[in-house]
A and B are shown apart, each in its own frame.
Chain A
Amino acid sequence: MTAREEILGRIRTALGPDRAAPAPIARNYRTADDRSAAQLLDVLTDRLEDYKATVLRCAPSEVAQTVASALQATLGEHPEADVVVAPGLPADWRPDGATEDDGRPAVELAGYAATVTGVSVAVAETGTLVLDGSPVCGRRALSLLPDCLVCVVTGDQVVGGVPEGLARLEPLAPLTMISGPSATSDIELQRVEGVHGPRTLLVVLVG
C-alpha cells in the first residue's frame, strides 16, 4: 500500500463510516464596509504609519514627482539608475532615469537601492498592501531585495477589511501581502522594524 492510500485509509477509519454532513459555516462577521473612500484612505494612512511606514498623499498628476522626492529624502543624493521599477509601472509614475526590471539575477537585483511598484489591493483596516506578480507589481524578488520599497496605491484599490481584499485577488497568482517594513518580535517580544526585507517602506497614496 502506498503512503497516500494508507494515510487516506487511516483518515477514513478515524472518521468512521457514518459521517454526518459538516454544519454550514456561519459567516456572521463583517464582509463589507460602509465608510467613504476618503475615510478609508485615512484609516490606511493611520495603520501604515503605525507600522513605521511613510505615507505621502498626492494628486494623480504628481506621482512621479512625489516618488522622486520621497526617494531623495530617504536615500539622499543617489544615482538615478539605482532605482529599479516594475516592468508594468506606468510611465508617468516612474522617477527619471530609473531602471526597469528585466528578470536579472537576484544578486544583481540586491544591488539596487530602491524599488518602485504598484499594488493590486490595499486593505485599510490592517494597513496591508497586496502585490500579485502582475507587471505593475513585478515579480516577488523585486519588492524584496532592494532595501527601500516604494508602493504606489490608487484610491480605487483601497478596501475596508480583509474579506473585501481577498475577494479582489486571484488565488493562483503569487501573492505577497505587505504590512509595513520587515520586522521582528523575536527579542523579548518587542517589535523592531527592519530585518531581512526592505527596511524602509514608502507608500504613495494617489487621490
Chain B
Amino acid sequence: MPAFGTGSGAVALRFRYRKRESAMTAVFLGIPTAPRDVGHLRGDQSFPDAARGALRDGQLRANLGHATSTIRAKRARVVGEVPDWAELREAGRAIKAATMARLDEHLIALEEQVTARGGTVHWARDANEANAIVTRLVQATGADEVVKVKSMATQEIGLNEALEAAGITALETDLAELIVQLGDDKPSHILVPAIHKNRSEIREIFARTIPGVDPELTDEPRKLAMAARTHLRERFLRARVAVSGANFAIAETGTLTVVESEGNGRMCLTLPETLITVMGIEKVVPTWRDLEVFLQLLPRSSTGERMNPYTSLWAGVTPGDGPQDFHLVLLDNGRTAVLADEVGREALHCIRCSACLNVCPVYERAGGHAYGSVYPGPIGAVLSPQLTGVEDNASLPYASSLCGACYDVCPVAIDIPSILVHLRAEHVEAQTRTTPEAAAFRALSKVMSSPRLWHLAQRAAGLGRFLARGKPTLPAALPPPASKWTRTRDLPTPPRETFTQAWAREHGR
C-alpha cells in the first residue's frame, strides 16, 4: 500500500494533538532564541498582511501552481515505487528522535572526529557569532571573494550581508540562489529559492545582470542553465575560499555530506584551498549507517528523483584532494530553545526536503515570501516561531488550515499540525490583554457548561436564520468585531430544529 495519500476525510484524526508541558518552555529555562538584529527569520509584516499582497499577484500564483503541481506528481511517482517507504520513514523519524535525545554527546563525538582528520571546529551561539567567525576565517586567507553552495543556515544568519559589510563578496552558485541574488530578490522556497519566478522572468534577470551574456539568450531552461555555467566557470576556478552548509554530519566518523544537483556544490567543495561549512547543530546523525536511510528519503521527497545527481562526502582534509584547510562552524541560533520544548522539538528533525511546501494549499497560494522567514511553508510555520520565540512570529502558527498534507508527505514524519496547534496555544497563553475572540470563547465555554444557558442560547441562535435568508451560511459581512471571524470562515446557518428538539418531538420528552 502506498505510504501516503493526501486529502482523506479522516485526516484530522491522524494528528496526535499532544498536550503541552506548560512548565517546560525555553523562556522558563532561560535559553536564548535567535537574536533580532541579524538574519532572516522575521518578516516586516504579519502573514495575513503579506499574503494579501501575494494573493493579488496572478503571475506569482500561476508560477507557484505550475511548479508545485509538477513536483508533487514527480514525488508521488518515485515514492510510490519504494515498497519499504513506510519503514524508511519510521527509521528516519526514530534516528532523528534518538539523535536529539543525546545531541550533546553526538556533537562532542563529531568535533573529535573532524578534528582528528585535520579539520577545525568552531561553535557559534547565534547568528552574530557565526558571522563573525566566518568573516574572520575568510579575512585570514586574504581573499575578498567567496563562492557559496546553497545553504539554509547561512541564509538564516544573513552571512552574505555580514561578509559584504566586511568588504567580502559572497557569490551564490546554485542556479536558483544566483537568480535570487542577481534579481536582488529574496528566496521563497527551501529547495528552489526562485520558484516564484518563471522562465521568462529569469531570462530577463540574466539578460539585465550578467555581464557579456548572449543578447540572443532565450527563455529555454537549458539555455538559461548554460548561461549560468559560463558565468560561474571562471569564478569556480579562481576561488580560494568556499562556504557551504551540510545536509548531514556523521558523529562517529566526522563525515560531512552535501546533497546537490548541478555540480556547483562539488566545485565549491573541491576546488578552493579553504572550505568553511556552517551547520545547524541538529544536522548531526550518529552513525554511518544512518545515511542509508536519509539518502533514500531525501532525494525522492525533495526533487522527486531516485537519487540527486551529486552527493559529496568528506571527512576532514584529504592530502592532494580538495581543500586543505577545513572549518566546521556549529550553529545554535535558537535551536537549543526549540529543543527545550518537548512537543516543538520535533521541528528539528527536518531534513529540508521541502515536500511539505509543495503540498501545502496555503503555501501554493500565498508563496514563500509571505512567511517572512527563510523557512517558509508548513515547516517554516513551526520552525521560525520557535527559533525566534513565538511572539516574534505570532501569525505563522495560524498560517495553516491544519489539513495535514504536510504530515503525510514528511519523510521523517514530523507532526506539523500538532506543533502548529501547540504553538497557537503558547501564543494565546502569552496574551496579557483579553482579545474579543478570547472573550467570546470564554463566554461560550460558560454557556456550554450549563444545560439551561445552552438551551437558551440555542433558541437565540435560531434567530440567526433571519440573517441567513435561506442560505446555508450566514453572511460574511457581520459587524465588527464578529467580522474578523466570519470574513475567513463560514458560519453555518442554525438549523430549524436542534437535535435535542427533534428527539423530544419524536420521543415525546
Taking beta carbons and an 8 Å cutoff, which residues of A are in contact with B?
2-4, 6-8, 10-16, 19-20, 22-23, 25-31, 47, 50-51, 103, 106-107, 110, 123, 125-128, 133, 139-141, 144, 161-163, 166-167, 171-192, 194-198
Contacts and interface: CB of A to CB of B under 8 A. Distances in A.
A189 B199 contact: no
Contacts, number: 262
Interface string B355-368: 00000000000000
A30 B84 contact: yes
A103 B198 CA distance: 42
Interface residues of B, number: 102
Nearest to A172: B315
10 contacts: A11-B336, A15-B101, A171-B288, A177-B312, A178-B310, A181-B309, A184-B262, A186-B175, A187-B225, A198-B263
Contacts of A12: 104
Contacts of B289: 27, 163, 166
Contacts of B419: none
Contact of B261 (A13, A107, A184): A184
B309 A182 contact: yes
A106 B237 contact: yes
A47 B306 contact: yes
A25 B87 contact: no
Interface stretch (B7-15, B64-72, B484-492): B64-72
Contacts of B176: 186
Interface string B50-86: 0000000000000100111011001000000001100
B363 to A, nearest CB: 14
Contact of A29 (B24, B88, B315): B88
B107 interface: yes
Given A13-B29, A29-B84, A196-B232, A140 B261 contact: no
B270 A7 contact: no
A22 B98 contact: yes
Given A14-B339, A166-B291, A188-B199, A29 B91 contact: yes
A166 B292 contact: yes
B117 A172 contact: yes
A179 B298 CA distance: 14
Contact of B250 (A171, A173, A185): A171
A194 B228 CA distance: 11
B427 interface: no
Contact of B31 (A14, A125, A191): A14
Interface in B219-257: 221-222, 224-226, 228-229, 232-233, 236-237, 250, 253-255
A194 B111 CA distance: 36
B321 A140 contact: yes
B109 interface: no
Given A14-B339, A127-B306, A186-B176, A7 B123 contact: yes
Contacts of A30: 83-84
A151 B129 CA distance: 44
Contact of B292 (A51, A162, A179, A180): A162
A183 B291 contact: no
Given A11-B336, A172-B315, 17 more contacts: A7-B336, A10-B332, A13-B31, A26-B91, A139-B321, A163-B289, A166-B295, A172-B254, A174-B312, A179-B307, A179-B308, A185-B192, A186-B179, A188-B67, A195-B261, A196-B233, A196-B263
Nearest to A20: B101
A188 B83 CA distance: 29
Nearest to A193: B222
Nearest to A182: B263
Looking at chain B's contact residues, is the secondary structure mostly helix, strand, loop, or mixed? helix
Contacts of A127: 306-307
Contact of B225 (A13, A28, A174, A184): A184
Contact of A174 (B263, B267, B321): B321
B103 A141 contact: no
A141 B309 contact: no
Contacts of B221: 184, 187-188, 190, 192
B306 A179 contact: yes
B480 interface: no
B26 to A, nearest CB: 7
A10 B228 contact: no
Given A26-B94, A172-B253, A174-B318, A194 B226 contact: yes
Nearest to A8: B104
B120 interface: no
4 A-B pairs closest in CB distance: A197-B263, A22-B98, A10-B336, A14-B340
B318 A51 contact: no
B18 to A, nearest CB: 17
Contacts of B270: 140-141, 144
Contacts of B84: 28-30
Most B CB within 10 A of own CB, among A103, A163, A192:
A192
Contacts of B299: 126
A95 B184 CA distance: 48
Contacts of A125: 306
Contacts of B98: 22-23, 25
A17 to B, nearest CB: 12
Contact of B123 (A3, A106, A187): A3
A15 B237 contact: no
Q: Indicate the member of A11, A13, A176 with the most B CB atoms within 10 Å.
A: A11
B162 to A, nearest CB: 17
Contact of A188 (B70, B125, B225, B332): B70
